Amino acid sequence: MNPPFPPRPTHLAWTLLREVIRPGDLVIDATAGNGHDTVFLAQCVGPTGKVLAFDVQAEAIHATSEKVSSLDLAHRVTLHQICHTRMEEFVAPESATAVMFNLGYLPGQDHALTTTAAQTIRALEAATRVLGPGGILSILCYPGHPEGATEADRVETWVTSLTDHGWRVAKYAMIGTKKPAPFLVAGRKP
């Protein structure tokens, strides 16, 4: 069976990150959710690396904890049930290889609880400070609901502004869809 075309935004993000993350690296999952990205990152950093995963919802932290434990990856992951805007409290400046955001709401939970544009921009600004030179910032946006559309617009504008500081940025999106499709925005720190 052929893989879907184009690839899902999450899989595309994983492809981009897999190219830069090395065993022993420190990486951040800014939005742990159900733990899929945390598991991916833990596999990339290997037994000597570290993943810091953040989420404000207890359900997300619990789901992620169960997932990494079931795969014997818990020793590589530190979970924080706090807002991703506070990541700098746990990470030294320019020490992370990658920071991954998967915005929106927690699948299977209350869709009224979503990331917000203002918090996301503050967290993205923090991410630029904890990323080391050559580090990758990966952001999945979901413009299919009202708060998500506002957030996606703000994120795209903010990421575009990084080019003024030497960042290389790209947007990967489906076109011609009936409703706004999720998209990936990625940037590489100079």
Residue 42 and residue 18 in contact, taking contact as beta carbons nearer than 8 Å: no
Q: What is the pLDDT of residue 12?
A: 95
Tokens of 61: 């932290």
- Distance between CA atoms of 158 and 156, rounded to whole angstroms? 5
Degrees, nearest 5: CA angle 73-15-175: 130
Degrees, nearest 5: CA angle 103-115-37: 35
Q: What is the pLDDT of residue 80?
A: 98
Give Dmax over CA atoms of the chain in angstroms.
45
Within the chain, strands assigned E span 26-29, 50-54, 77-80, 96-102, 131-141, 168-173, 183-188
Q: What is the pLDDT of residue 116?
A: 78
3-state secondary structure of 102: strand
Length, in residues, of the chain: 190
- Distance between CA atoms of 189 and 131, rounded to whole angstroms? 7
Q: Describe the strand order of the beta sheet including 96-102 as a list of residue ranges.
A: 77-80, 50-54, 26-29, 96-102, 131-141, 183-188, 168-173
* Cα distance between the two ends of the chain: 39
Q: What is the pLDDT of residue 90?
A: 98
Residue 100 CB-density burial (10 A; 0-12 exposed, 13-18 middle, 19+ buried): buried
Q: What is the pLDDT of residue 5?
A: 78
Q: What is the pLDDT of residue 120?
A: 94
Q: Could you tell me which of 117, 112, 89 has the C-alpha nearest to residue 101?
A: 117
* Each residue's pLDDT expressed in tens, for the chain with a length of 190 residues: 777 777 889 999 999 999 999 999 999 999 999 999 999 999 999 999 999 999 999 999 999 999 999 999 999 999 999 999 999 999 999 999 999 999 975 555 555 566 678 999 999 999 999 999 999 999 999 998 888 899 999 999 999 999 999 999 999 998 888 888 999 999 999 9
Question: Domains along the chain?
Answer: 9-188 (3.40.50.150)
